[in-house]
Amino acid sequence: MEWVDQRAMRVRFVDGVEGVVRFGSGFFRGVFTHLAEPAHFAEARVEMGAITWPGELDLAPDRMHDDIVTHGECVLG
């Protein structure tokens, strides 16, 4: 995982698929509300194949993979 800009990251999967995951304003709701703060959002890490943040927040890699294969990128929110 590497940052493209403040609200997008490039990801690479073990099967070689890679692409950009973009985070729209709709993503930052519910349990993800505090990630709207750039300092908190920047704490993202990859653990066991999933993008995670402190506080046991994570994103399912399957959806990102499928969207990247189908659409060339994944847009959340």
Name the residue among 1, 5, 11 with its Cα closest to residue 74: 11
Query: Distance from CA of residue 4 to its chain's centroid?
Result: 11
pTM of the model: 0.90
CA–CA distance, 61 with 63 (Å, rounded to integer): 6
Identify residue 38 by its one-letter amino acid code: P
pLDDT per position as a tens digit, 23-72: 999 999 999 999 999 999 999 999 988 999 999 999 989 999 999 999 99
